[in-house]
């Protein structure tokens, strides 16, 4: 498996490549510049010396003249010294270094020029060596070496600074990686922002990770809640249906049979509402796309009628009051479960008396004269019913509160968003 490099290693590698490229480019440019300057200087100097040589050789039989201080002119290739070996295929009026096979360690230049000399076309060869320029070139290289050493030192200092900056920027990310690696899969606590110079990107990353973790935990919570709610809340309508089926075989009375049929139909509808609502709590719905509707009195009456059947014959009456209108995006089954659980819990907490179901503008209250929040209700579904109410309110952005009354009992209130 290929080893993955750390941020520090990558920084060092990339910086070293860039530094090596800069030094190489610098030396190449400097060497090219010196060669070009030397060639241009030699060409200009040799052109001048060639003109001087032609003037000195014209009208004489000389085959060699010296042009102080740096050049010698020779007429014809045969008159060249034995140690001089020219490059083949040289062009006229252009300077060339001597061939490597020449018997000299100095950097001589040669130039050939074909001229009319003493009434005859002849080749004049100029051999040029500038000792002062060569010495100056050597001094320039020494100076450049000093500059290169200083440049290398500067690059080393820059590398140190870059590595410190890189460490300062990457240490929080490394600590975050260690934190994530060491966390237990069941640990749902928020991921802390690592110590050090955590950048805005690190804060955003931690925030997004915590957000994803919260979404996952919320999904798991909804799935567990669905299993818990379904196993408990569907028990009552199932018991009603089983009881009605048992009673069907004990009487042939049409009135009795119709009453059992109504009970079974009501229980089936309640089961359907529960399943629809609980399934909706486990998925993400586009609430903005839902249609707004108004809750009417008949809908509330149906909810009250469905849940007063389970009051075990207690002298409890649920009375509706209307002081305004409620407009909501809650689906009808979900609203039935929401209000139904409040009514059912109020009945469970009340032994006798009147429970008030009050609808005001964007608000529904259930006021009971029961045992209050500190008392023990007679029904099993008190806690689970309120948990379902809270989950529904959380999903559909409603406000739910449950408070003791000043005298007796408590008030459950749901405020619907505008």
Q: What is the per-residue pLDDT across 239-250, written as a single tens digit (0 to 9) for each? A: 777 777 777 767
Q: Please, are residues 57 and 75 in contact by the beta-carbon 8 Å criterion?
A: yes
Average pLDDT of 12-21?
80
pLDDT at 381 over 50: no
pLDDT value, residue 382? 46
For the cut 70, the answer to whether the pLDDT of residue 379 exceeds it is no
Whether the full predicted model's pTM is greater than 0.85, yes or no, is no
* pLDDT at position 74: 92
The pLDDT-based confidence of 282 (bands split at 50, 70, 90) is: low
More confident residue, 365 or 229: 365
Q: Are strands 316-322 and 353-360 parallel, antiparallel or unpaired?
A: parallel
Query: 93-107, 281-295, 369-383: which has the highest mean pLDDT?
Result: 93-107
What confidence tens digit (pLDDT) does each residue in 335-354 have? 888 898 898 888 888 888 89
| Range of lowest pLDDT (175-189, 306-320, 373-387) | 373-387
As beta bridge partners, residue 373 has none
Place of tokens 């089983």: 242
**pLDDT at 364 (0 to 100):** 94
151-170 confidence digits (pLDDT tens) = 778 878 887 887 777 777 77
Rounded to whole angstroms, how far apart are CA atoms 222 and 138? 82
Question: What span, in angstroms and rounded, lies between the C-alpha atoms of 170 and 199?
Answer: 10
Average pLDDT of the residues in 4-12: 71
Rounded distance between C-alpha atoms, residue 255 and residue 355, angstroms: 30
């Amino acid at each position: 498996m290929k080893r993955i490099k750390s941020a520090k290693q990558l920084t060092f590698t990339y910086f070293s490549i860039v530094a090596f490229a800069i030094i190489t480019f610098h030396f190449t440019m400097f060497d090219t510049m010196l060669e070009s300057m030397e060639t241009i200087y030699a060409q200009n100097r040799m052109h001048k010396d060639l003109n001087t040589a032609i003037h000195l050789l014209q009208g004489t039989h000389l085959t060699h003249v010296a042009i102080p201080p740096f050049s010698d002119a020779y007429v014809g290739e045969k008159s060249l010294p034995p140690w001089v070996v020219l490059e083949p295929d040289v062009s006229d009026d252009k300077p060339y270094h001597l061939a490597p096979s020449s018997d000299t360690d100095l950097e001589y230049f040669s130039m050939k020029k074909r001229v009319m000399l003493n009434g005859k076309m002849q080749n004049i060869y100029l051999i040029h060596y500038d000792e002062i320029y060569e010495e100056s070139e050597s001094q320039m290289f020494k100076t450049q070496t000093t500059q290169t050493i200083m440049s290398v030192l500067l690059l080393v200092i820059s590398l140190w600074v870059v590595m410190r900056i890189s460490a300062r920027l990457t240490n929080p990310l490394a600590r975050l990686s260690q934190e994530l690696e060491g966390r237990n899969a069941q640990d749902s606590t928020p991921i802390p922002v690592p110590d050090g110079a955590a950048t805005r990107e690190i804060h955003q990353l931690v925030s997004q990770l915590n957000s994803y973790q919260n979404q996952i935990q919320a999904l798991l919570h909804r799935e567990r809640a669905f299993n818990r709610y379904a196993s408990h809340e569907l028990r009552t309508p199932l018991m009603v249906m089983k009881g009605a089926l048992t009673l069907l075989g004990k009487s042939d009375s049409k009135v009795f049979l119709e009453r059992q049929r109504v009970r079974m139909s009501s229980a089936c509808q309640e089961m359907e509402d529960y399943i629809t609502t609980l399934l909706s709590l486990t998925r993400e719905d586009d609430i903005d796309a839902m249609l707004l509707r108004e809750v009417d009195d008949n809908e509330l009456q149906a909810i009250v009628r469905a849940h007063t059947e389970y009051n075990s014959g207690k002298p409890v009456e649920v009375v509706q009051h209307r002081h305004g209108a409620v407009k909501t995006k809650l689906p009808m089954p979900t609203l039935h479960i929401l209000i139904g659980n409040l009514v059912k819990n109020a009945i469970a907490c009340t032994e006798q008396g009147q429970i008030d179901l009050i609808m005001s503008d964007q608000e529904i209250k259930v006021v009971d004269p029961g045992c209050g929040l500190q008392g023990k209700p007679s029904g099993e579904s008190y806690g689970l019913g309120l948990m379902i109410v809270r989950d529904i309110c959380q999903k559909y952005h409603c406000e739910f509160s449950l408070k003791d009354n000043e005298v007796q009992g408590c008030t459950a209130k749901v405020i619907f968003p505008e």
